[in-house]
Amino acid sequence: MKSSYSGAEGGQCIEVAATPTRIHVRDSKDTTRTALAVHPATWSQFVAFAAL
């Protein structure tokens, strides 16, 4: 996934942290914004879809 703040130089702009009950996703270039938190099953479905 690429952050909306990513430039042409690339780099890691999305951070993902897993806990037993939630997957937390945030923009690493703007950590003041609220992270997205989803259920692990939802995250798995998203990753499977994105890999198509």
- Tokens 């198509």 map to which residue? 52
How confident is the model over 19-31, as pLDDT tens digits? 999 999 998 878 8
pLDDT at 2 over 60: no
Instruction: Express as a percent the part of the chain with pLDDT over 90.
Output: 44
Q: Is 23 exposed, middle or buried (0-12, 13-18, 19+ CB in 10 A)?
A: buried
Cα 25 to the center of its chain, rounded Å: 4
